[in-house]
Amino acid sequence: MKKLLSYNAYRECIREILIVTFKDKNIRLSFLFSIFALVVGIFANLSIPLILKKITESFSLENPMSVTLIFGSYGFIWILSQVSTHIRAIFTYKIEQRITFSLGIKVLSHLYSLSHNYFLSQRPGEITNVIRRAQQDVPRIILGIFFHLLPTVIEFLLVITIIYSLYSSIYSLLMAGTLGIFFIYTLFSIKGALKYHEKANEIDKNVDGIVTDWLSNYEAVKVFGRYALAVQICERELKKREKSEVRVMTKYTLSRVGQSLILGICLSLTSYYIGQGVLKGVLTAGDFILFNGYILQFIIPVGILGQVIQDIKKALIDMKGILDMLLTTSDIVESPYPIELSGSCFQINFQDVSFKYSDRNILENVSFEIKAGETVLVVGPTGGGKSTVAKLLLRLYEPIQGQILINSKTTTRGGGMKM
C-alpha cells in the first residue's frame, strides 16, 4: 500500500510539471517536431539494412543505373537518419530546460509557503542538493521514457516483425528472445544496485549539508581557530561519499557487464544460424548483410537501453527527496482571503500566548498590549523569547496556545492579513 502511494505521488508530481510545461504553445510544437524527427529516424534506421541487402545483390546486376540509384538511396537514408537525430536533440533540449525551469519554480514556490520550522530542521546544503538532483532527474525520466526507452523498444519490435515477414520464424524468435532475456536480466540485476544508490543519496545529501554549514560559519571558524576541526569533519564526511559512490558505480558496472555478455552471446548465436542458412543455400549473402546490419545497428541502442532503464530507476530514487519536500505541509495555514489592514496606527495584543521549540518551552501564557503610537522595549536574558515574540508577530511561527491580535483582528490559525 505504501509503495502504491509512493508511485501515485511520483505520477502526480510529474503530471503537474508536465501540465505547467506544456501550457506553452512553443513547447508543444517542439514536442511535435521531436516526435516527427523520431519517426523519421526510426524509418530511416529500419531502411538502412534493407538497402545494404539490395546493394549486395546489385553487384550481380548489369544495369549501372540501378546500382547508382541504390547507392544514392543508401547515402540519402543514412544522412536522413543522422540529421533527424540531431534535429530531435535540438527540440528535446528545449523541452528539457523548460521542465527544469517548471520544476524549479514549483519547488521554490512550495518552499516559500512552508513555515520557519521546516528550515530549522533542514541544512541549506541538503535542500540545494535535493533541488539539484530533481532538476537533473525529472527531465531524464520524462525524456528517457518518451525518446529513448519506448522508441528503442518499438524499433526493435518492428525489426522482429520485418524479419518474421521475410524469413523463417526461428530468426525472429532468436531476436525476440534476446530482447526478452536482456530486459529480465536488467530489471533483476539493478535491484541490489538501487538499494546502494538510495543509501548513497542520503550520504551525499548529508555531506552537502555539513560542508555548507561549515563554510557558512567561516567567520566563527577563523575567529576561534577551528579550521583544522572543520577540515577534519568535512574530510571524514567526504570519504563516506567517496566510498558510497564507488560502491554504487561498481554495482551498476557489473550489471552492464552482464548486459553485454547477454547481447554478445545471443547475437553470436543469431549470426551463427544465419551463416548456416547461407552455407546451406537457404539464405543469400544479401540476407546475411541484412541480418548483421540490424544486429550491428541495434546492439548499441539496446545496450544504451539498459543504461536508460538504470538512469530512470536511479532518477525515481533521486526524486524521493523532492517528493518529501513537495508533500510537506506548512504548520501555518494562510487564509485564502486575508484581512487588509489600512491606516498607519496599529494596536497589538498578545492573549495567553504560549510557544515552545522542540527541545524547550519559550513563552508560557504571555499577555500584553501595545497601543498605537507606543514604543515598547522587550528585555531579558538570552533565550528568554525576545526574538520569538517578533517572529510570532510576523507569523514565522504559530503559537501553540493563545491569540495574537492586531487592531482586534486575529493573526493566528488561518486568520491571515496583509498591510
Domains of the chain, earliest start first? 2-326 (1.20.1560.10), 339-418 (3.40.50.300)
State the Cα–Cα distance between residues 396 and 384, nearest whole angstrom.
17
pLDDT at 387: 84
pLDDT at 1: 43
pLDDT at 300: 64
pLDDT at 60: 62
Q: What is the reported pTM? A: 0.65
pLDDT at 338: 64
For the chain, 419 residues long, give each residue's pLDDT as a single digit of tens: 444 445 676 677 778 888 888 888 898 998 899 889 888 888 888 888 888 777 777 766 566 666 677 777 778 888 888 888 888 888 888 888 888 888 888 888 888 888 777 777 776 677 777 777 777 777 777 777 777 777 777 877 888 888 888 888 888 888 788 778 877 887 787 777 777 877 887 888 788 888 888 888 878 887 788 878 888 888 898 898 898 888 888 887 888 788 788 878 877 887 888 888 888 888 887 888 887 777 776 666 666 666 677 677 777 776 777 777 777 777 776 666 666 666 677 888 888 888 887 767 888 888 888 888 888 888 888 777 888 888 888 787 888 888 888 877 777 655 554 44
365 Cβ contact list (under 8 Å, min separation 6): 352, 353, 354, 401, 402
